[in-house]
Structure 1
Amino acid sequence: MPQDEALGNGTCLPILSVQEIVRSDAENVPERYIRNPDNRPNSTEISLVPDDHIPVIDFSLLAQGDEEERRKLEVACKEWSFFQIINHGVEEAIPKMKAAAAQFFDLPLSEKKKYAMPPDYFEGYGQDNKAEDKKRDWMDLLWLLTMPAHSRNTKYWPLAIPGFQESVEEYATEMQRVTYEILGNLSLLMGLERDFLKELHGEVKQGTRMNYYPACARPDLVYALSPHCDYTSISFILQDFDITALQIKHNEMWVPVKPIPNAISVLVGDVMESWSNGKYKSLPHRVVANVEKPRYGIISFVIPSNEAKLDPLKTMVDDDHPPLYKNGLTYIEYLLYTQTKETEEDKYVNIDYLKIQN
């Protein structure tokens, strides 16, 4: 297939497949993926923090109500906006979920095109950046709304793949359990009833995104996933365990996160920053490409209902901590605002829209 042939059948956005680009020419990187010199992964920005400094939370202890582990969660969210969880009970579902993602991306392009992302909709197969004139990330993706079950749009699910639906549903169910436990502990840390944050979401939605990152001959020129913050309350990232590619911003430096086998990374998003009145900051993060081999990333986004209010919670506001974020904004208002941004750098400043401007 020629590189410039569009995905889809006329109703879908004309987006290239990076996977197909690499298959046809693995030695060159097309111009549309090459970042400007001032917006590339830069080794001088890297902080080689010892691996044991990045917070790790024993989920099994957290679920048992262990106070020390909950205090570790508080420190992780306040100082890092990030942690990895171990002993979470998702271990059996992880290899099946990874296999489901691999099976999808192993399909011929003609089959993947059947699930192509429409121009004005977020689900399906394609790429993250839909604007033709913007630089693109070195990856392809499949985005599915996986929870609640009644919200699933199976036209974007490759149900012909044996076991795909069962593997994704199992993983989504396990991640929903983990989500409720994390939200419950954060509620307690914020001086609230255990179910408060869960109920504040309204109907808790879960989006599952499978990213395929091809190997790249010039990883210094591209981003596998460009720097950004998530528009969610919290997000879960399942990395490949043998390549360090995820980087988080800490103390104004980029910190590589070495994967722990079977661990799941958790990060704070924009919504939680507003609810916590800035105590827990939304985390800038990015993914770098590598020359060695392709890899996968599976992200579970925890998404409030459209009507959920993003006001700072009363327990997070007092005389010493006045409200820093606006009252009355709903999640859908914020989400629509984020879609109006024009430049790569704007991905960092969406949260400013929620702040009270002095």
Structure 2
Amino acid sequence: MDAKSKSLESSLTVPSVQELSLQNPQKVPQRYIRDDADHDFCTFPSSDPSLTIPLIDKAKLVNTDTQQDELHKLHLACKHWGVFQMLNHGVSSVNNMGNEVKRFFELPLQEKTRWAQKAGSLEGYGQAFVTSQEQKLDWNDMIFLKSLPIQNRKLDLWPQNPPEFRETLEKYSEDIRDEAISIVSFITLALGLEDTKMSESFHEGLYDIRMNCYPPCPEPERVLGIIPHADNSAITLLVDFGDFPGLQFLKDEKWVSVEPIDGAIVVNIGHIIEVMTNGIYKAPEHRAVVNKEKERLSIVTFCYPSPSIDIGPVKKLTDEGNQQAYKNMTNAEYFNRFFNRKLDESFIDSLRL
């Protein structure tokens, strides 16, 4: 493989999993099968029903009478899990966006490929992080778009079919940014930080949206919808449109399923917050599994602070006798490290001192 193709900022073209699923195959093609446990995390036991992802109630966070107790719950969720489900959030456009994503993935393949990824870019319809022809593939199709700031948009990759898709995504992007700013401000409070610079930096932050389709699979136990990974974002906001658990987080070496709750947003910590909190909050490993009978859709927003913000531990968190555990980097250095790493190497380990 030449040096250029190793960058994770682009992806090779692969067949549509949706089209494959529509053919009702009895078996899964070899390239999707992961029986060989080619990733350590595949060998951990499946979901432990005694463990459940923490629930945080936004209504209690904004109410002064209940705020302190809910902030304490938020702190424990971020510290011990790195993930929680946010109830009573303020994103009113969730269902409209979900309907548009459903309509997009229902389009004929030829129509969807009008917005296919182009060489050298992850944006558009296709799959992410496919860097070689031998690589195992995930059981999903996706469309990935940079949504904010507006100047980052490549509108030639924003679907014009369904007709309301673009307009709905614009509204959803603004709503999800407001929610991200709010969540980061509460995370800052939960850490006991007075500094509002962290949450304010999300006003000019970057917001990338990935819409996933996980089609039914004849042998769901032999594939993964998405391989285990942690996110390079600050926080990630996920809305699930499945009626079965498809998302799993690793907790105490067990996979814990996220039970879909209508009207909830799954919030998980990414590597940027892990670095900024000096490891007090850690970005959790998670993966997607698939179902034999049912399709699952999800909308994932990766939220990043302003590119002008340096990424390193907040000074107050290393002043109190805590040794600094992560490097200080410019924003550009952080992303350069991420996109030019090897897929099988730990990104977060490369950021430790």
Q: Please name the residue that 2:350 is paired with.
A: 353
TM-score by length of 1: 0.88
Would you say how many aligned residue pairs link Structure 1 and Structure 2?
340
CA 1:199 to 1:44, structure 2 compared with 1: closer, same or farther past 3 Å? closer
Give how far 1:54 is off. 2.2
What is the one-letter code of the residue matched to 1:226? Answer: I
CA 1:129 to 1:36, structure 2 compared with 1: closer, same or farther past 3 Å? farther
User: Matched residues in 1 for 2:179 and 2:286: separation?
Assistant: 22
Give how far 1:234 is off. 0.4
Structure 1 unaligned residues grouped into runs of 5+:
1-10
User: Matched residues in 1 for 2:173 and 2:167: separation?
Assistant: 10
Superimposed CA distance per residue, residues 286-315 of structure 1 (whole angstroms, 9 cap, x where no aligned partner): 000110111101101102344432111111
User: Matched residues in 1 for 2:271 and 2:310: separation?
Assistant: 13
Q: Please name the residue that 2:166 is paired with.
A: 165
What is the one-letter code of the residue matched to 2:100? Answer: A
User: Matched residues in 2 for 1:46 and 1:13: separation?
Assistant: 31
What is the one-letter code of the residue matched to 2:68? Answer: E
Matches within 5 A, 1:116-131: 116-131=116-131
CA 1:93 to 1:319, structure 2 compared with 1: closer, same or farther past 3 Å? closer
CA 1:194 to 1:326, structure 2 compared with 1: closer, same or farther past 3 Å? closer
Matches within 5 A, 1:240-251: 240-251=241-252
Report if aligned partners of 1:234, 1:269 keep a CA contact under 8 Å in 2. yes
What is the one-letter code of the residue matched to 1:186? Answer: I
Matches within 5 A, 1:326-337: 326-327=327-328, 329-337=329-337
Q: Please name the residue that 1:271 is paired with.
A: 272
Report if aligned partners of 2:44, 2:255 keep a CA contact under 8 Å in 1. no
Report if aligned partners of 2:56, 2:87 keep a CA contact under 8 Å in 1. yes
User: Matched residues in 2 for 1:120 and 1:29: separation?
Assistant: 29
What is the one-letter code of the residue matched to 2:106? Answer: D
Which stretch shows the higher mean deviation, 95-104 or 157-166?
Answer: 157-166
User: Matched residues in 1 for 2:243 and 2:334: separation?
Assistant: 36
Matches within 5 A, 1:1-358: 13-39=12-38, 45-50=45-50, 53-65=52-64, 66-90=67-91, 92-131=92-131, 132-193=133-194, 195-200=196-201, 203-318=204-319, 320-327=321-328, 329-343=329-343, 345-346=344-345, 349-356=346-353
What is the one-letter code of the residue matched to 1:127? Answer: Q
Superimposed CA distance per residue, residues 152-208 of structure 1 (whole angstroms, 9 cap, x where no aligned partner): 221111123221122212222221111111111122233433632134458211111
Give how far 1:89 is off. 2.5
TM-score by length of 2: 0.90
User: Matched residues in 2 for 1:63 and 1:178: separation?
Assistant: 13
Q: Please name the residue that 1:3 is paired with.
A: none
User: Matched residues in 2 for 1:169 and 1:112: separation?
Assistant: 19
Report if aligned partners of 1:159, 1:165 keep a CA contact under 8 Å in 2. yes
Give how far 1:25 is off. 4.3
Report if aligned partners of 2:85, 2:265 keep a CA contact under 8 Å in 1. yes
Q: Please name the residue that 2:5 is paired with.
A: none
Report if aligned partners of 1:237, 1:297 keep a CA contact under 8 Å in 2. yes
Q: Please name the residue that 1:7 is paired with.
A: none
Report if aligned partners of 2:246, 2:258 keep a CA contact under 8 Å in 1. yes
SS in structure 1 at match of 2:37: helix
SS in structure 2 at match of 1:38: coil
The Cα RMSD (Å) is 2.2
User: Matched residues in 2 for 1:241 and 1:97: separation?
Assistant: 14
CA 1:342 to 1:202, structure 2 compared with 1: closer, same or farther past 3 Å? same
Higher relative contact order (CA 8 A, sep 6+): 2
User: Matched residues in 2 for 1:161 and 1:44: separation?
Assistant: 40
SS in structure 1 at match of 2:261: coil
SS in structure 2 at match of 1:296: strand
Q: Please name the residue that 1:4 is paired with.
A: none
SS in structure 1 at match of 2:209: strand
Which stretch shows the higher mean deviation, 18-27 or 251-260?
Answer: 18-27
Report if aligned partners of 2:11, 2:122 keep a CA contact under 8 Å in 1. no
User: Matched residues in 2 for 1:152 and 1:198: separation?
Assistant: 23
What is the one-letter code of the residue matched to 1:246? Answer: L
